[in-house]
Amino acid sequence: MRPGIIKAVHNHMKKNKDSYFLTGDLGFSVLEELQKEFPTRVINMGVAEQNMIGVASGLALSGKKVFVYSIVPFVTMRCYEQIRNDICYHNLDVMIIGLGGGLSYGVLSATHFALEDFAIMRPLPHMNIFSPSDEMEAVLGMEALLNRQGPVYVRVGKKSEPTVYEKPFSFTFGKANIYSESKRDNIVIFATGPILSEVVKAIPLLEKQGIMPTVVDVHTVKPIDAKLIERISAGKTLAVSVEEHYRIGGFGSAVAEVLSQVVGSPRLLIIGTDDRFIKELGNHDYLRETFGLSASGLTDQIVKAFKKE
């Protein structure tokens, strides 16, 4: 989805002279064209993320739209207070583009994983969070986001995520998309990000076991689509949330915050990673397999929880 996002930014910068793109010394083989076309508005800030967010805020204070780009931990955690005080407190028009959502950096391992980002970005007032599942959705989401103003965090995968959407669909930021609805559904699965592709593969596996899921793609983690979550959970035997993030504080917690306010809502199974650093070494698929986040792992976790109900 990275190419689609950069292309959307490129088109936006072509039309809008008041836009800037700051990178934290990353972008080899990705940003060259952008840099060539807008040499004064694409700035390599060096390996200095605190200053990058500060400069982005100053540009935005003077009326510019600013994109900042780096790997998730560097562009969210290293400079978190700058995001809180400078961007969010001042409600500035800055889009934070974070690469490597979840476990997607694979063998680069723990320092490069993004398993806490939802948890730390969610409580920030004014912050919006977009977590696309594939290239198509990333492009649709960018179109919507580029027409708005204010702080946004875009959680990007790495590259060449599996396709979830073959065709465009009607995308609204803040409204979850029902990916597939089963007539005789007894559970609902809420998923966010590229792991949706594993959820989609799990649908037939679950059906074989008599579990009929409705699958909802929650591309907007904040503001969360509380209305849809509430409506679609009603009467289900089990609700499930799926994300590549620690189970603590992330997307699942956001869903739980909604369901905890609904009388008679189903139990929520939060699927994510355990409360420990990941020491196992392997590529993205290997890690998903290891932590029960592949289609079969997800199926096992859901079947087990369903049988308890």
Partner 1 sequence: MAIDNKLDAIAHQIRYEIIKMLVPLESHHIGCSLGIVEILTALYFEVMNIDPKNPEDINRDYFILSKGHAGASLYATLALRGFFDKKLLSQYDTNGGLLPEHASRVVSGVELSTGSLGHGLPVGLGLALSAKRDKRPNKVFVLMSDGELDEGSNWEAFLFASQHKLNNVIAIIDKNGLQGFGKTEEVISVEPIKEKLESFGWAVQEADGHDLQSLKKAMTEAQNSQSDKPNIIIAKTIKGRGIPFFEGKFESHYYSISEEKKAELLSSFNKKS
Q: Which residues bind partner 1 (CB under 8 A)?
A: 40-41, 43, 45-46, 48, 50-64, 81-82, 85-86, 89-90
> How many other β-carbons are positioned within 10 Å of the β-carbon of residue 61?
13
Instruction: Give the span between the Cα atoms of 54 and 40, in whole angstroms.
Output: 18
| Of residues 37 and 81, the one with the C-beta less far from partner 1 | 81
CB of 72 to partner 1, least distance (A): 20
Nearest distance from C-beta of residue 73 to partner 1, angstroms: 17
Shortest Å distance, C-beta 228 to partner 1: 35
Q: Residue 48 or 262: which CB sits closer to partner 1?
A: 48
Smallest CA-to-CA distance from 165 within 148, 180, 151, 155 is with: 180
Q: How many helices (H) and strands (E) does the chain have?
A: 12, 12
Q: Pick between residue 60 and residue 258 the one whose CB is nearest to partner 1.
A: 60
Which of 76, 82 has the CB closer to partner 1?
82
Identity of the amino acid at 187: I
Is the preceding omega at residue 223 within 30 degrees of 0, hence cis? yes
**Among all chains, which residue has been given the structure tokens 């990058």?**
52
Nearer to partner 1, 50 or 149 (CB): 50
Is there a contact between 163 and 134 (Cβ–Cβ < 8 Å)? yes
CB of 16 to partner 1, least distance (A): 14
Residue 43 DSSP SS3: strand
Closest distance of CB 31 from partner 1, Å: 18
